[in-house]
Amino acid sequence: MRILRFIGVAALVAFAACSKGIYGGGGGGSPCDGQGADVVVSATSVLTFSPESILITTGKKVCWQNVASFDHTVTSDTGTVLGSTLAGGTFYTHTFGSTGTVTYHCTIHQSSGMVGKVVIQ
């Protein structure tokens, strides 16, 4: 009976370890989980930011997560607001403090049309 109980506990531990999400959170987690973001934008393996355009109000926090297995960047077209290289499975956050429009791109995949826009009201 003791051996059966041990096998049952071992099976539950193995199941719990395997059921974590790809990014180490609870099942289905993502890099932006727990970052307190108001909006999440994904840099994808098909070379897009999804969603490509977002509308927020000042003081809101945006989290860009790389859901691909290769690097992307989040780079402001003016070079002043954003800027981060994201390895696969990582994230970058930014809180927007003033109104306006910020356009950005992935410097690695810009020729593929990987661009995005944040409109802040």
- State the fold for domain 31-120: Immunoglobulin-like (2.60.40)
Instruction: Give the number of other Cβ atoms within 10 Å of residue 8's Cβ.
Output: 10
Say how many C-beta atoms besides its own lie within 10 A of residue 58's C-beta: 12
> How far is it between the farthest Cα atoms of the chain?
69
Question: Which residues touch 108 (CB under 8 Å, ≥6 apart)?
Answer: 71, 72, 73
Percent of the chain at pLDDT > 90 equals: 68
Question: For residue range 37-57, what is the model confidence (pLDDT) as tens digits?
Answer: 999 999 999 999 999 999 999
Q: Domain-by-domain residue ranges, the chain?
A: 1-28, 31-120
The string of DSSP letters for 16-65 reads HHHTS-TTSSSTT--TTTTS--SEEEEEPTTS-EESSEEEE-TT-EEEEE
| Measured distance CA(24)–CA(97) in Å, rounded | 31
Residue 54's pLDDT is what?
A: 98
